[in-house]
Structure 1
């Protein structure tokens, strides 16, 4: 953790994730939307053009859409950028990006919380596997080492693979959202196109740009957030 001021900011971050915020985000998301050890099918080659889903540009000036928090957020996650711990055997994902304000200015010191399910579609509710938070660097950039999550059945039916995030610039409001994967993602033998199409909470504006590595066993991804810095 950092100094006491940053810890207080993080506590404020957690407290803002109330049921009221969740219900508003759920309504906004539904309105904006159109459901043992893993082994990956061979990911496709680098996607340079013609992505099947809309992708947040480097900086559009438009706030990244909000989504529901879900019932499985846990406070006090460790500060770390590497979420791969013993027992995690999913398809590797190295994710990076930049956090901007709506004037396209990078936001250093922004708090980003990540949590997700594992290669079997399970969340760790007793510990902090695949959970963590970090702060953007002086250029507003972040890096995350994790895995592609699997789909699962939950409160809102079958969910497409996604990564939960909460993002807050120093002193700013909290953005709660979820990051999704392109239709042609290949992992765990799952049909990502069908899963994406069936998930009523999915927002295609929150899709990670993916590129397969040369060895075709893992992905690199990018996603840039755009935040409001005042309520």
Structure 2
């Protein structure tokens, strides 16, 4: 696969950022969990009983709305004025591990998606950001459930770039899907292996997915 200049720049930058994260003290690696978050949530049932060599998470296209240079940001729904952007709240949590089942610390997890009206922000970084995994390979974002737009079911975009020296794992570009969506069966990109595990959380949702990269 031939990478575009912007794609090469992202992966180079991600590798550098992830690599530098490993040089910092362990307490500085990965997200700081907001009050009330399940910082010690159990592993996703799909990977809790990991047996090496584990099957890698399926890749998917990055789509036409990828934009490099996202900020280090955990709360994607913050509007910058002390409030929240419209949409049903979604907390996305998970782990990143290699095919040897070991957690990948200091990896870059990049997330972007449409707003609740099905629109992507192509001029700024609304609903775009990245995080670093902590020492257990965990990551977390606060965002909203994306809206629908013509031709696609409801989905999230991610790029996962292990730190340099992270067991030789290459970056993974993929998407995540929502269960029980009527459009899933009609979306040519939909893969049931990439379904989020969702549960209700207050007036929103908690989505879990553990990734295997390698």
**TM-score category of the 2 structures, normalised to the smaller one:** 0.7 to 0.9
> Corresponding residue for 1:202?
190
> Corresponding residue for 2:209?
223
> Corresponding residue for 1:94?
91
Query: Aligned-pair distance for 1:109?
Result: 0.5
Q: Establish whether residue 159 from structure 1 lines up as the match of residue 152 from structure 2.
A: yes
Please point out which of 71, 75, 85 is paired with 2:68.
75
Contact 1:56–1:205 under 8 Å retained in 2: no
CA root-mean-square deviation: 2.1
Q: 1:85-142 deviations in whole A, cap 9, x for unaligned? A: 3262111011111101001100100111100000000000010000001110011100
The ranges of structure 1 where at least 4 consecutive aligned residues each deviate by more than 6 angstroms after the TM superposition are: none
Kindly tell me: are residues 56 and 9 of structure 1, through their superposed partners in 2, closer, same or farther at Cα, counting changes over 3 Å? farther
> Corresponding residue for 2:129?
132
Contact 2:11–2:171 under 8 Å retained in 1: no
d(CA) in 2 for partners of 1:56, 1:96: 14
What TM-score do the two structures reach when normalised by structure 2?
0.73
Query: Aligned-pair distance for 1:14?
Result: 6.7
Q: 1:161-199 deviations in whole A, cap 9, x for unaligned? A: 11100001113411000000111xxxxxxxx2x211111
Give unmatched runs, 5+ long, in structure 2: 1-7, 16-44
What TM-score do the two structures reach when normalised by structure 1?
0.68
d(CA) in 2 for partners of 1:11, 1:107: 16
Contact 1:94–1:144 under 8 Å retained in 2: yes
**Looking at both structures, which has the greater relative contact order when contacts are Cα pairs under 8 Å and sequence separation is at least 6?**
1
Contact 1:113–1:167 under 8 Å retained in 2: yes
Count of aligned pairs: 167
